[in-house]
Structure 1
C-alpha cells in the first residue's frame, strides 16, 4: 500500500527500524559455508550469466542448496553484495527499512540520499522513486540478494520491488532466493528476456558432484554408486548431506548409502518436519494417499481422497516447491525420496489403507486407458483377477512376448497367487510358460482356460483371440503346421469381433501370429507359404512392439534363403534381423539366435571356420531359456555338424547331425540335410557303402541328398548312375550357388571319371563363375584333389584367382585357399613328417599332449584332411615340407 507522505526524505533514528527496534545484523550477513560445502562451478557460471539481466531467480525446494549456492557465489565476487534475509509477514515499511539499511550497511547508499520509511506499514512512492534514481546513477550495478523471499507475502511489497527494479535500470541486479514463485510479473520478464532462472532440476546434484560432496564428508563412492543415490534422492542437496552424515556413523558407509531406509532416517525427519507437517490436514491426507502413485492427476488424487479439492492443493504445493513436481498436462509426481518417506508414513499412520488405494487407482487408470499403470497397481493391491483380466481384455497378452514391457510384465505376474484360477489368469500363466518353452505347463494352463471359456455364456472374443495366439505359439514349439493354421483361421474370425482400435493399439498380436504360422510352414518345408506369412510381418510398421517378431521373421527368411543356396541374401537378412531389436534396446531372443546360426552356416560355406565358431557361440548366448523350437534346434545341430565336418572331425559331425527333435511332423529339409551330412562324413572316413545307407531314409526331393548320393556312387566307380542322380537337383533359376555348385562339381567329376575331361572343364567353369559371386569355397575344398588337377591343366582364365586360389598357377595347381599355419603348427607338422607320436612331439617341443592335439586339429582343418599321413602328403603337395 502506497500513501502520500512528505516529499522530503525522512531519516530514521540511528540503528532502529520504524518500530523503534534495533536492526538485526544477522539479516545483512552473507551466510557462512560449512567445511563440507561443495562449490559447483556450473551453477556459478549460470549466476555469472545472470548478471546480464536485471533479475535472477533461484527457485527451489527446502534444502535444495539455494542459499549456500548464492552465498558462495556472492562471496567470490570482487565487489560488495547487498544481502538481506527476508522475514515472515513483513509490512512494506519494515521491508524497505531493512533493505535501505542493508544498502547502507554494505556502503552502497547513505540514508540521507533517499530517506527512510517513517511508518512500519506504509512507504511513500517518492521514496521508492528516489531509491530507483540513486541506483540508476551508479556507474556499476549493485547486486542485491533477497534471501528467503518466499516469506514476503504482502502483494504490495512485490509491486514496489518491481517498481524499483524497473526504474533502477542498469544500476540494480536483483537476485531472489525463494521456495515459491514470487508475486512479480515474471511472465513479462521472461518475454522480454530480462530474467535468469535456476530451478530445482538445475540445483540437483549430478553423480560427479555427489562423489565430490561425499568425499568432503570423508566417504568414497564410485560414480555408478553415486548415480544410484542421486536417482533415489533426486539429487536433493539436503538429502545427500543428511545421508552422508548418517553414513559416516555406519559400519559400512557404501552399503548404508545403497540400502538406507528412507522412512527411518534423518532425511525423513527433515522432510516430515519441514514439508509435510507444515501443511493443513487435508493436504497431508492427500500427500499420504498419492504417495502410492508414480504420477497422478487431480482427478486421480480425488479418487483416492474421496474429495474434490486436489487441483488447488496440488497447484499450491507446486508453487511452494513442496516436493510436488509438475509433469505437464495436469499430471504431477512426488520427489522420489519424499514419496518413499510418505509411503513409510502411510504404513505407520494408516495401516491397511495401501491395498485399497492401489485398488482404487488401478480401476481408475484402467477406465482412463492407462493399462500399464493399472496392471502395476492391480498387482500391488494383490487383485490378480482384475490384473489378469485387464491384460487379456485389452488384447495385450502379446506384450508378454515382445516389446519394451515384456520383461517387466513377466516379473509383475510372477507373483500371481496360485489360488487365482480365472481364464485370464490361466492364459497369463500359459503365456509365461510358453515364453520359456515350457510346453507341458503352457498347454495345461491353456487348455484349462479354453475349457472354462467354453463353459461361459459370454465367450469373450479378446480371451478367445489370446487363446488363438497361444495355440499358434504352441504349434511353433511343436512343429505343427496344421495346428498353427487352425489357430490363424480362428484368429482371423475373432479379429472381426473385437474393437478395431484395440487391434491397432496392439500390432504385436498379428505379428506374433504370422511369425508362428510362417515358422511352422518353414519346418514343414512349405517355403512359399512360409515366405508369405513372414514377409507380411517384415512389411508391418516398425516399432518396439513388433521388433521381436520382425527379427524372428527376417531370421527365418534368411534361413530359407540359405537352404535355397543364396548365401548373400541369407547373410543380409540375418544382419538386418539383428538391428531390429538393437535399435530399441531389447534383449536377445530366439530370432537373434536363428540369425547367428544362419550367419555361422554361411561362414562355413565360405570356409571362414573361426568366424563360424564365434557365431555359433553367440547363438548359444542369445538363446532363450528352455529347449529350442524345432527350427532353431535343427539349425543349431546342422550348422554345428557342418562346421565339425569342415574342421575334419567326422565323428563329431555325425553326432551333431542327429539331434533329439520332437515335432508333430517330419521336416523334409532337416532330414535331408542331416542325411547329407552323415553321408559326407562317412565318405570322408572312406566308407562309401555306409555313406549310401545314410541316405536310405532321406526325402527324395532334397538336392543335398542327391548330390551326396552321386558322390557315393563316384566313390565306388559309377559315374553314369551318379550323373542320373544329379538330374533331381532343381534348375539353377530356383536354387542358389550353395545348392547348384556342389551338384556341378560332382557332375564335373563324374564326367572326368567317365573319360570326358572337356565337359568336366566346361562344367567346372560354370561352377567357378557361380561360386565366385558368393565366395563359396567349401564345395571346392571337399572336391580335392581332382579339382586341383583340372585347374592345373586349365587355369580357367583366372576365375579361381584371389578368392579360391592363392598366387598364380604354375605347371601344377596352386594351393586352394587355406588358413596359414602358425609357427607352432609348422613345428608340429615337421615332426609329424618324422613319424613322431603325439607324446614324442610334446616332449620334443616342451608342451603338453593336449596342446599338441589342439595343434593337430588346427593342421587337419587347415589342410582339409583327417589323418596324419594325409596331412604330411598334403603339406608336401603345398610345399610346406
Structure 2
C-alpha cells in the first residue's frame, strides 16, 4: 500500500465515546504505511501515554508553536509591515507570549497608528479584537460551569487546587481535577512546575476573563472572591498576596492589619510599591481613624525613595495619636516614627546642598534614578559611608542620634528589624561625631540583632565601622579582626563598602607585617587568575565566557571580585596592578 496521511482537523469537536473508541482501534491496527495527523485544541481521550512509550507519537504543543523573538520581529515588521521599535516588539512578545493569533489581532489593531495609547490598548486582553476572539472562540464554547469557574478564578495571579477550592468551591469536583481538565483542554492555562501544583492563565486570556467577570458580577460579588483569596493566602503564609486581595476586597481593617505585619511591616518585605498605591487611595478620614496607617505611610514613602513627603505623614500620625493611651503597640508606633525620622536625617548627611529641603530633594533625585521600587539598598548606600563629621553636619548628626535613641527607647524589645536599623544609624552618626564608645555600643547591638535574624548586611556594615574605629584608635589587631570577619560574613554580597574594607585590611596588615607590603590581602582563586589572564589579552566578557565555558554573568562576577581584591575599578588598572604583583603568566613561556 502506498504511504499516505490521514488528517483529522478540529478533533476537539468530536465529543463522542464511540468515536474515541474507533480512533483507538484504528491506531492499534494502523498499517505501517498510514500516518494519522490529529489537529485539536485539547488532549484527545486516546492512549497517548502508551503511544509515547512506544515512540509512536510526535507532538507539537503550545510551546512548540509559540513564536520566538526573531519570528515575532519578522512577522510584525516583515509580514505586517508595522516597523515597530524594539521596546514595543518586546512588550507585544511579553503580553502575547508568542501566541500568533494574539500577535495577529494586535497587529491589525495598530496598523497605521503607532500612538502609545493605541499601542497599549492593542496588547490588552480587554481590546475588542482580542476580547471578541477569546470570548467567541474559547470561552463561549465551554459549559456554563467552566465559564463561571474561569471568570471567577481570573482574579488570581496563580492557581492551585486548594486555592481555587477556597475561592470557587464546588463539592462535586475538586480543584485539582478542574485544573487538570483545563490543562487537558488547552484553555490558556500554563503549569508553573512539573508537579502541576501551580498554574496561571495566559496574560491576555486572564485580562479578557477579568473584563468578562466585571460584566457578569457586581462589585460586591467580586470583592467577596478577593476576600476568600486573601483568607487563603494568609492562612498559607503568603502575606503580600493576602494584602493585595484584601485591598481589592475593600476590607480596610484586614488590609491595615496585614500591612502592619506581625513584627515586620509588609513594605519592608518587598511590598513597598503595592503598599504605597493602597495608602495613596485612602481618604484622610480613614487614615486619621487608624493612626498606624499614617506611620506606615511615612515609612513607605521613605522605602520608595520619596523622603521629601515623609515628615508631613509623620506629623499627621502624631496628631492622630494625640491623647491615645500609650500601650505597647502605640509606643512601638512612636518608635517607628522616630526611626523613620532618623533615616531622613541620615539621608541629609549624604548630600551636600545647604538647607534641609534641598538636601532631601537631592537624596530623592539620587534614589529615583534606580529602576526598582524598593529603595532600601539605595538608602543604605547613601547612609553607609562612615567618616568624621564636617562642621556643617553637626545639626543633622544630632538629629540622627536623638531620633535613633528615641526609637530604641520606644520600640518593642522584639521588634528586631526596626531596632537593627535604628541602632545602625545611631552607630554611623556617633562614628561621624567622633563618639567611638557610643558607636561601638550601637554597632555591637546591630551585630547581635543581625545574628538573631540571620541577616548579614547590617552586621557586615557594622563590622566595617568597628574596624574603622579601632584603626583610628590605634588598635590595628582588633581592626584586622573586624575587617576579616566583615569580609568572611559578606561572602558575595555586592557591597561597595567591601572594596574599602579590603583596602583597609590590606593597609592594617601592611602596618602589622611590613613584609606584606605590595602583596594582596586576599589571594585570587585559580579561576580568577584564568579570567585575569584573558582580560590582559584583551578578550571581552563574552569571549572569556566562551573560552572558559562560563555564562557572561558569571564572568562579570569574577571581574567584580578580581577588581575588589586588586583594589581597582577598571580593566586597565587591573592589568597594571597584576603586572606589579607578577600575577600574569609569562607570554614567552611555552604552555
Residues 254-265 of structure 1 mapped to structure 2, 5 A cutoff: 256-260=118-122, 261-265=124-128
Does residue 396 (structure 1) correspond to residue 258 (structure 2)? The answer is: no
- Kindly tell me the number of residue pairs found equivalent between the two proteins: 450
How many Å separate the matches in 1 of 2:488 and 2:321?
38
Does residue 316 (structure 1) correspond to residue 181 (structure 2)? The answer is: yes
How many Å separate the matches in 1 of 2:284 and 2:503?
45
Does the CA contact (< 8 Å) of 2:456 and 2:489 recur in 1? no
Work out which of the residue numbers 429, 441, 444 in structure 1 matches 2:315.
444
Does residue 358 (structure 1) correspond to residue 226 (structure 2)? The answer is: yes
Work out which of the residue numbers 274, 287, 293 in structure 1 matches 2:156.
293
| Closer, same or farther: CA 520–350 of 1 in aligned 2, 3 Å | same
| Closer, same or farther: CA 372–580 of 1 in aligned 2, 3 Å | farther
Q: CA deviation at 1:183?
A: 1.2
| Closer, same or farther: CA 467–170 of 1 in aligned 2, 3 Å | farther
Deviations 1:718-762 (A, max 9, x none): xxxxxxxxxxxxxxxxxx589xx8xxxxxxxxxxxxxxxxxxxxx
TM-score by length of 1: 0.43
What residue number does 1:378 align with?
A: 246
Query: In structure 2, the residue corresponding to 1:419 is in which secondary structure?
Result: helix
Residues 43-58 of structure 1 mapped to structure 2, 5 A cutoff: none
Does the CA contact (< 8 Å) of 1:485 and 1:517 recur in 2? yes
What residue number does 2:325 align with?
A: 454
Max Rg structure: 1
What residue number does 2:190 align with?
A: 325
What residue number does 2:133 align with?
A: 270
How many Å separate the matches in 2 of 1:424 and 1:324?
40
What residue number does 1:11 align with?
A: none
RMSD: 4.5
Q: CA deviation at 1:270?
A: 0.6
Residues 128-143 of structure 1 mapped to structure 2, 5 A cutoff: 143=5
| Closer, same or farther: CA 200–536 of 1 in aligned 2, 3 Å | farther
Work out which of the residue numbers 286, 291, 301 in structure 2 matches 1:420.
286
Q: CA deviation at 1:417?
A: 3.5
Deviations 1:112-167 (A, max 9, x none): xxxxxxxxxxxxxxxxxxxxxxxxxxxxxx55443322233333443443444345
Deviations 1:99-118 (A, max 9, x none): xxxxx9xx54xxxxxxxxxx
What residue number does 2:106 align with?
A: 243
Deviations 1:442-486 (A, max 9, x none): 64356457657636xxx576x765654554454564665576566
How many Å separate the matches in 1 of 2:456 and 2:37?
52
Residues 165-176 of structure 1 mapped to structure 2, 5 A cutoff: 165-168=27-30, 171-176=33-38
What residue number does 2:436 align with?
A: 525
Does residue 515 (structure 1) correspond to residue 381 (structure 2)? The answer is: no
How many Å separate the matches in 2 of 1:372 and 1:407?
11
Stretch moving more, 262-271 or 158-167 = 158-167
Q: CA deviation at 1:377?
A: 2.1
Query: In structure 2, the residue corresponding to 1:420 is in which secondary structure?
Result: helix
Residues 552-571 of structure 1 mapped to structure 2, 5 A cutoff: 552-553=461-462, 556-557=465-466, 559-560=468-469, 563=472
| Closer, same or farther: CA 737–361 of 1 in aligned 2, 3 Å | closer
* Structure 1 gap segments, 5+ residues each: 1-103, 109-141, 496-506, 583-591, 607-735, 742-765, 776-881
| Closer, same or farther: CA 570–211 of 1 in aligned 2, 3 Å | farther
Does the CA contact (< 8 Å) of 2:404 and 2:423 recur in 1? no
What residue number does 1:73 align with?
A: none
Query: In structure 1, the residue corresponding to 2:8 is in which secondary structure?
Result: strand
Residues 821-832 of structure 1 mapped to structure 2, 5 A cutoff: none
Q: CA deviation at 1:341?
A: 1.7
What residue number does 2:581 align with?
A: none
Does the CA contact (< 8 Å) of 1:518 and 1:532 recur in 2? no
Work out which of the residue numbers 76, 81, 85 in structure 2 matches 1:218.
81
Does the CA contact (< 8 Å) of 2:126 and 2:207 recur in 1? yes
Does the CA contact (< 8 Å) of 2:8 and 2:39 recur in 1? yes
Query: In structure 2, the residue corresponding to 1:378 is in which secondary structure?
Result: helix
Work out which of the residue numbers 204, 210, 213 in structure 1 matches 2:66.
204
Q: CA deviation at 1:522?
A: 4.1
How many Å separate the matches in 1 of 2:6 and 2:420?
64
Deviations 1:228-247 (A, max 9, x none): 21221222111111111222
Deviations 1:809-843 (A, max 9, x none): xxxxxxxxxxxxxxxxxxxxxxxxxxxxxxxxxxx
Q: CA deviation at 1:429?
A: 1.6
Residues 787-826 of structure 1 mapped to structure 2, 5 A cutoff: none
TM-score by length of 2: 0.62
Q: CA deviation at 1:269?
A: 0.9
| Closer, same or farther: CA 183–349 of 1 in aligned 2, 3 Å | closer
Deviations 1:664-685 (A, max 9, x none): xxxxxxxxxxxxxxxxxxxxxx
Q: CA deviation at 1:211?
A: 0.8
Q: CA deviation at 1:210?
A: 1.0
What residue number does 1:125 align with?
A: none
Query: In structure 2, the residue corresponding to 1:198 is in which secondary structure?
Result: coil
Q: CA deviation at 1:487?
A: 4.7
Work out which of the residue numbers 141, 144, 161 in structure 1 matches 2:23.
161
Residues 421-820 of structure 1 mapped to structure 2, 5 A cutoff: 421=287, 422-435=290-303, 436-437=306-307, 440-441=311-312, 443-444=314-315, 447=318, 454=325, 468=335, 471-475=338-342, 477=345, 484=404, 487-488=407-408, 493-494=413-414, 508=417, 511-512=420-421, 515-516=424-425, 518-519=427-428, 522=431, 524-526=435-437, 527-536=439-448, 539=451, 546=455, 549=458, 552-553=461-462, 556-557=465-466, 559-560=468-469, 563=472, 582=494, 598=500, 736=508, 769=514, 772=517
Work out which of the residue numbers 183, 186, 198 in structure 1 matches 2:48.
186
How many Å separate the matches in 1 of 2:448 and 2:75?
56
Query: In structure 1, the residue corresponding to 2:126 is in which secondary structure?
Result: helix
Query: In structure 2, the residue corresponding to 1:197 is in which secondary structure?
Result: coil
Does residue 177 (structure 1) correspond to residue 39 (structure 2)? The answer is: yes
| Closer, same or farther: CA 292–442 of 1 in aligned 2, 3 Å | same
| Closer, same or farther: CA 417–205 of 1 in aligned 2, 3 Å | farther
Does residue 344 (structure 1) correspond to residue 211 (structure 2)? The answer is: yes
Query: In structure 1, the residue corresponding to 2:113 is in which secondary structure?
Result: coil
Query: In structure 2, the residue corresponding to 1:533 is in which secondary structure?
Result: helix
Query: In structure 2, the residue corresponding to 1:178 is in which secondary structure?
Result: coil
Q: CA deviation at 1:293?
A: 2.2
